[in-house]
């Protein structure tokens, strides 16, 4: 455990000096400050933060994670020459990247709220926004590590990372709308819930949106989601699904990393 903590602390120290982490934090500072200045509606502020975060967090996490692992190949080879288990190194690299990214999102969002809109800090939807932000970072860094571990070609790895982001953030919803349009005469309630669980971005969006009580704006689909996801069982299944989305790619990537020939 001491070796793991040392690796994590070194990675956090190294990444904290990166300009990209600073830009990432400043971006959320400016975004949150601007939203508070332009709107006094707490629900609108949280919903706007959610919409931006669900586009930016997966993109930054998956690209930064992929590039980070490729660029640190020499460092990885050096560490592997020491009596350190590969599983420990992989987990240390992963947590050493996830923690700074999550802290950047939290700090950049919380500072304007603390000084300009303290009432919103006690809202349950904001808590779920931070929970989904944590999961989105963990999931997409996990996926990025899996991609970078399986592919030695940096260009191919980056291409796959961008495609994965497009699939979950844009293409998946388009395919889902196409399916709804084609099979509109059939009962699709259970299928829609199942397909939403298979996409961590959609799942996070639904969780936070329903806590804002705006499901009525989503029509019949929103009523179906509210009936399931707004229950204790639905929330539990959602958290479990997001956890599985984090752990499964991490386990597969760690297994591949343990057998990888550097």
Confidence check: pLDDT of 23 > 70: yes
Provide the residue ranges of all domains of the chain, joining segments of one domain with +.
Answer: 2-259
Average pLDDT over residues 154-158: 90
- What mean pLDDT is reported for the chain? 84
Confidence of residue 219 (pLDDT cuts 50, 70, 90): very low
Give pLDDT tens digits for 32-77: 988 888 877 777 888 888 888 989 999 999 999 999 989 888 888 8
Whether the CB-CB separation of 241 and 234 falls below 8 Å is answered with: no
Q: What is the pTM assigned to this prediction?
A: 0.90
> Which pLDDT score is estimated for 106?
93
213: left (phi over 0), alpha (psi -120 to 50) or beta: left
Please name the residue that has the structure tokens 């029509």.
Answer: 219
Length of the chain: 262
Give CA–CA dist 123/79, Å, rounded. Answer: 44
Give CA–CA dist 153/133, Å, rounded. Answer: 29
Of 52-56, 67-71, 219-223, 243-247, which gets the smallest average pLDDT? 219-223
Confidence check: pLDDT of 13 > 50: yes
> Which pLDDT score is estimated for 214?
57
Confidence check: pLDDT of 213 > 70: no
Between 126 and 244, name the one with better pLDDT. 244
Confidence of residue 139 (pLDDT cuts 50, 70, 90): very high
Give CA–CA dist 122/126, Å, rounded. Answer: 8
Of 15-19, 148-152, 223-227, 246-250, which gets the smallest average pLDDT? 223-227
Give CA–CA dist 249/146, Å, rounded. Answer: 6
> Which pLDDT score is estimated for 136?
94
Of 29-43, 50-64, 190-204, 213-227, which gets the smallest average pLDDT? 213-227
């Amino acid at each position: 455990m001491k070796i793991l903590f040392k690796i994590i602390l070194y990675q956090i120290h190294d990444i904290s000096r990166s300009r990209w982490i600073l830009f990432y934090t400043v971006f959320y500072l400016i975004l949150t400050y601007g939203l508070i200045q332009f709107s006094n509606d707490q629900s609108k502020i949280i919903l706007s933060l959610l919409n931006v975060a669900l586009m930016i967090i997966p993109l930054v996490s998956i690209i930064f994670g992929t590039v980070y692992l490729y660029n640190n190949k020499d460092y990885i080879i050096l560490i592997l020459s020491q009596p350190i288990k590969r599983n420990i190194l992989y987990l240390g690299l992963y947590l050493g990247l996830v923690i700074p990214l999550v802290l950047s999102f939290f700090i950049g969002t919380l500072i304007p709220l603390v000084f300009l809109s303290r009432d919103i800090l006690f809202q349950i939807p904001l808590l779920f926004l931070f929970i989904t932000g944590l999961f989105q970072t963990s999931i997409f860094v996990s996926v990025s590590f899996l991609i970078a571990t399986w592919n030695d070609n940096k260009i191919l790895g980056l291409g796959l990372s961008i495609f994965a982001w497009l699939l979950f953030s844009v293409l998946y919803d388009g395919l889902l709308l196409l399916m709804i349009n084609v099979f509109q005469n059939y009962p699709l309630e259970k299928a829609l819930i199942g397909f939403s669980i298979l996409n961590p971005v959609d799942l996070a969006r639904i969780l936070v949106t329903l806590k804002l009580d705006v499901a009525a704006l989503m029509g019949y689909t929103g009523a179906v989601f509210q009936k399931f996801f707004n229950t204790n069982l639905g929330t539990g299944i959602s958290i479990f699904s997001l956890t599985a989305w984090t752990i499964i790619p991490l386990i597969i990537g760690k297994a591949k990393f343990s057998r990888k020939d550097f």
